[in-house]
A = this chain, B = another copy of it.
Amino acid sequence: MTSTRTSERRASTRHAGLERHEIIDAALAIVTAEGGAALTMRRLAADLGVTTTTIYWHVGNREQLVVAIVERFAEEQSAIPVIGRTPRRRVLHAAMNLWRSARGHRNLTALASAAGATTLLELPLEAALAAELGAAGVHGERARDVVQAVLACIAGFLISEWRPAEQRPEALRPSELWSRVDDPRIDPSTLRALASPADHERLVESTLRAIIDAAVPETHRGTP
């Protein structure tokens, strides 16, 4: 799977004829399949059947490559429709779309986050959220604050999934750590709960709902 392009193209032309977008595509494939750590300049070059320096000629350096990957992926992403009968529900749905999207392509989200390119990645969905907030009567800085709070929560829940407890050293697992806590102020049932994992999906939704409900008036216009 590595060098068909080399043998085919190299035979016919003096140059490899490699184009920038082919590099981005190959890089994107590596990231989605194996994560950002697998994206090394040498590995990418090998996949394309060229020398590492060729990559540099086309894309500059790794940081620029990452930005290009995120950009390309963002272009190809299709809009997710927002549903819901009340403005509030639509806002929540738009927020959950962001969560589902980020979670759907975690490897890319992780890479974008490390590069500080999350906004670039999710701009259309963020815009959709802002639009729904407007429809619900929330504008300006208040709308911005909701968007940012939603984004922070999503990012936070995501990173708590990046290193699932199972693949951590035993001493770092919350279950281990909490089971050792002997604090008279804390109810035994609470300690037990803290030692066991939460239903993430549900928790994300209820957290986003709390944030939204606090900022979005219950009814705007229409349904009394």
Contact = CB atoms under 8 A, between A and B. Distances in A.
Interface stretch (A11-19, A28-36, A181-189): A181-189
Interface in A187-203: 187, 189-194, 196, 198, 203
Nearest to A164: B116
Interface stretch (A2-10, A45-53, A167-175): A167-175
Count of identical protomers in the assembly: 2
A152 interface: yes
Nearest to A198: B148
A206 B156 CA distance: 17
Nearest to A120: B172
B163 A156 contact: no
Interface in A152-166: 152-157, 159-160, 163
Contacts of A154: 156
B203 A210 contact: no
A34 B65 CA distance: 26
Given A140-B190, A186-B130, A159 B169 contact: no
Contacts of A116: 163, 168, 172
A38 to B, nearest CB: 17
A20 interface: no
A189 B4 CA distance: 53
A119 interface: yes
Contacts of A113: 159
Contacts of A194: 126, 130, 143-144, 147
Contacts of A157: 152, 156
A213 B210 CA distance: 8
Interface string A205-216: 011011101110
Interface of A: 63-64, 67, 113, 115-117, 119-120, 123, 126-127, 130-131, 133-135, 139-141, 143-145, 147-149, 151-157, 159-160, 163, 168-169, 171-172, 174, 177-178, 181, 183, 185-187, 189-194, 196, 198, 203, 206-207, 209-211, 213-215
